[in-house]
Structure 1
Amino acid sequence: MVSSVLPVSRVPDSRDAPALRWGIMGPGWIAERFAESVQAHSTQVIAAVGSRSLNRSKAFADAFGVPAAYGSYEELAAAPDIDIVYVCTPHNFHHAAALMAIDAGKHVLVEKPIGLNAAQARDIAARAKAAGVFAAEAMWSFFLPKFDVIRQVLDAGTLGTVTTVLAEYGEHFERGHRIFDPALAGGPLLDLGTYPLALITEVLGAPERLSAFGEPHESGVNAQLSAIMQFTGGGQAVMNTHLHNFTPTAATIVGSEATLTIDGPFNMPGGFELRFPDGTRLRHNEAAGGHVEGLHFEAAAVARAIAAGETETQQRPLASSIRTMDVADEIRRQVGIEFQGEGNAA
C-alpha cells in the first residue's frame, strides 16, 4: 500500500543547540558563509579566527565581530578560549590542520573533503579517537532537514530495493579560481564530486566494481570525470562532475517500489519528490537556499553531539567519510589524478 504522507523532519531549531566557541582556521569563502549562517540562525559563537596572514584574520574578525584574530594556524589551535576548530583551509592543508587542532586537545570539524585521500581521513579518525576529541567532516548536506526526511524514507523501505543512484555536479568557475591550481589539489573531484560520491556511498555503500573516465584541463588539473559503479546485490550508480559549466546538479534514487528525485542543486536546501508506479506523487517542500540557509544545521548538530559526550555525528560518521574517500581514491587511480606533494592515491 502506497503511503499517503511523507515523514516530517526531526531536525530541531538550530537556536536550541548549546553554544560552542568556534575557532575558524582559514578565513576564506566557505568560512564567511559559515559565519553568516551561524550568526543569523543559531547561538553558536565565532570566538577566534586564524590565518597565515594576520591581515586576513583581522579583516575577517572585523567583518563578523570576532574578538580574536591570529596570524598563524598554530596560535589558533593553541588558543585557550575556543572549544572547536573549524578547518576550512585549502584542501591540501585539511589533514595537517586537523591534526594540529586535535593535538592541541580541540574538537574539530573539517571542511569537505576531510582529507586528500582515505589514508589522511583514517589518520584524522585514529588521532581524534586516541585524543578523545570530537571529529567530523563538514559534509553539510546530510545535516539539512530534507536529508533527515530522505533518511527516514530509506530506512522505512519505502523505495523497496534500491537499484540505481544517479548524481552529478557541474559548475562554472572564473579562470583565476583555485580549482584550476594543481598546487591546491584543483579539479572538480574534491570541490564538487564529493557531493555525488557521498550520496551514492550513503545509499548503496562501497562499490564492488568501478570504472572511471577522465578529461584533462589545460591548467594541469582534471576537467571532468565520470564513474559507473556496481554494488553488492546488483545496484548501480552513475556520477559525473566537471568544471566546464553549470548543470542541474540533480540526484535520483531509484527503487523497486518508488523513485525519489531531489530538486537541484540536490546538496543544498530544497525539496524532493517521491513517485510511485501508480502515479502517486508525494512532495517534500523545503525553501530553496544556499550555504547561509544551510550551514547552521551542521554547526548545531555538532554542538549537540559534543554536549552529549559523543565524538562523532550520526549524520556523517567518520567511517562514511572514509568510505567516500576510498571511492575517490579508486577514481583517481583509474583516471591518473595526482595531487602535488601527496603522490598517486594507491
Structure 2
Amino acid sequence: MGTVRFATIGTSGICERFLEALAEAEGADYVAAYSRDLDRARAFGERYGARLFFDDLSELASSDEVDAVYVSSPNGLHADQALAMIAGGKHVLVEKSLAANEREARRVFDAAREKGVVAMEAMRNLHVPTFAAIERVTASELGAVRLATLRFSKVTSRMARLRAGERLNIFDPALAGGALMDIGVYCVEPAVALFGRPKTVRALAVTAPVPGCAADDPCSTIDLAGEALLGYGDKIVSLSYGKMCDDVIPSQVEGEEGTLLWDQTSCPVNPRVHDHEDKGLIFRMEEASTRPVPAEVPANDMVCEIDDFTAAVRGEAAALEAAARFERVTVDSLAVMDEIRRQVGVRFPADLAE
C-alpha cells in the first residue's frame, strides 16, 4: 500500500488537531468525514479537504475509497464504531481511551486480527521520541527502580457547567466519560508501558452524582479527580490525575542510581536525570542538579502516532511489532482502569453487559 486514505468519525477539537497532524504526515491522505448529520460531516470535512461525506456507518465501512478510519467520538461509542469499520475491512486508529473497558478492547483487537487489519489506540504520549528516551533511560541509567510518580491534572471549564446541573459527554458514564478515562489514562498507560501490568491496585477518587440520573441507575456516579497506587512487588507507582485543578509537579521515575524527571505527562518534554551522589548523612536534599536527556517533539505530536499507525498499515515489520506491543499496553491499562473504577464506584453500561 502506498498512501493511506483516511476517514474520520467525529468532529471534535481533537479530530481537528488530528487532521492538522495528518496534513504533515507522509503517505497519508484525508478523504472522508462521518457525522450523524450529513451537513455537519460536509461542513467539517470540506475544511480539511475531504471529498466524501457520510451519515451512515455501514456506508463508510463499505467504501472502497477509504483504507483507515480515525475514531474520535465519545469513549462509549469507540468499540462499536471500531468493530463496524473492522467488519468492513478498514484499519482503525481509535482515540484514547480505545474502549470503555478491557473486555471491549479485547473484542476490537480480536476482530482486527481475524480480519487482517490494524487496530491501534491513539495514545499520543507513547509515540513521541521523548517517551522512547524515557524508556531507554529507565532501563539503562537509573539502576533498580523503586518508586515512580506520573501526574496530570488540569482545570476544565466544563466543571462549572456540571455544577450547574448540565449533563455533559465528558462527565457521562453512559459514554464512558470521567477524569480517569479522559485525563488519568495519560498516566496509566506510560506506567504500564514502562513497568507492565501491576500486581495490585489501590485507588481513591473525588466523585459526583451525574445530573439527570434516576435514583436506581447503577451508572450515576462520575469521577472528577483521583489517585492510584500500582504495586509491583519491587516497586510502587503513584498516579495522580484530575479535571478540577492544575498539577505543576513533574513526573518522575526514581531508581537507586538516579531519578528521571519530565514535564507534561500528556506530551512529555524536558526529560532530565538527577544522578545519585552518596554524600553520607544529610538532613535535607541539596538543590538537585540534573543533566538533560536529548529528545525532540514535533509541534503537533499526533504526527508520531499517525506515522507509527500508517507504517503498520503498510505492513512494515518493526511497526507491526510495535503495534502488537501497544495492544498489550492498551488492554492491560484498561484492566487497571477497570479496577480503579470498581474501587471508586464508577460504572459504565459496558461493565453491566459482561
What is the TM-score of this pair, normalised by structure 2? 0.85
Moved more, 212-221 or 123-132: 212-221
* CA–CA distance in structure 2, aligned partners of residues 116 and 335 of structure 1: 16
Cα pair distance change 1:254/1:344, threshold 3 Å? farther
Cα pair distance change 1:249/1:287, threshold 3 Å? farther
1:162 pairs with 136, 140, 145, which one? 145
Aligned residues: 324
Moved more, 278-287 or 95-104: 278-287
Partner of 2:215: none
For 1:301, the aligned partner's letter is D
For 2:257, the aligned partner's letter is E
* CA–CA distance in structure 1, aligned partners of residues 173 and 312 of structure 2: 36
Conserved? CA contact 2:130–2:296, under 8 Å: no
Cα pair distance change 1:178/1:244, threshold 3 Å? same
* CA–CA distance in structure 2, aligned partners of residues 245 and 280 of structure 1: 29
Moved more, 167-176 or 114-123: 167-176
1:185 pairs with 156, 171, 176, which one? 176
Partner of 1:330: 339
After the TM superposition, which residues 292-303 of structure 1 pair with which residues of structure 2 at under 5 Å, given as runs?
293-303=300-310
Q: Structure 1 vs Structure 2: percent identity of aligned residues?
A: 28
Cα pair distance change 1:312/1:123, threshold 3 Å? farther
Q: Secondary structure at the match of 2:239?
A: strand
Moved more, 248-257 or 173-182: 173-182
Deviation at 1:41, TM superposition (A): 4.9
* CA–CA distance in structure 1, aligned partners of residues 45 and 249 of structure 2: 33
Deviation at 1:266, TM superposition (A): 2.0
Conserved? CA contact 1:18–1:304, under 8 Å: no
Conserved? CA contact 2:198–2:231, under 8 Å: yes
1:109 pairs with 81, 87, 93, which one? 93
1:130 pairs with 108, 114, 137, which one? 114
Conserved? CA contact 1:25–1:76, under 8 Å: no
Q: Secondary structure at the match of 2:136?
A: helix
Partner of 2:35: 51
Q: Secondary structure at the match of 1:113?
A: coil
What is the TM-score of this pair, normalised by structure 1? 0.87
Conserved? CA contact 2:152–2:265, under 8 Å: no
Deviation at 1:137, TM superposition (A): 0.8
Deviation at 1:71, TM superposition (A): 1.3
Partner of 1:13: none
1:284 pairs with 280, 293, 305, which one? 293
Deviation at 1:124, TM superposition (A): 0.9
Deviation at 1:295, TM superposition (A): 0.4
* CA–CA distance in structure 2, aligned partners of residues 313 and 35 of structure 1: 26
Please tell me the root mean square deviation across aligned C-alpha atoms, in Å.
2.3
Structure 1 residues without counterparts, runs of 5 or longer: 1-16
Cα pair distance change 1:328/1:113, threshold 3 Å? same
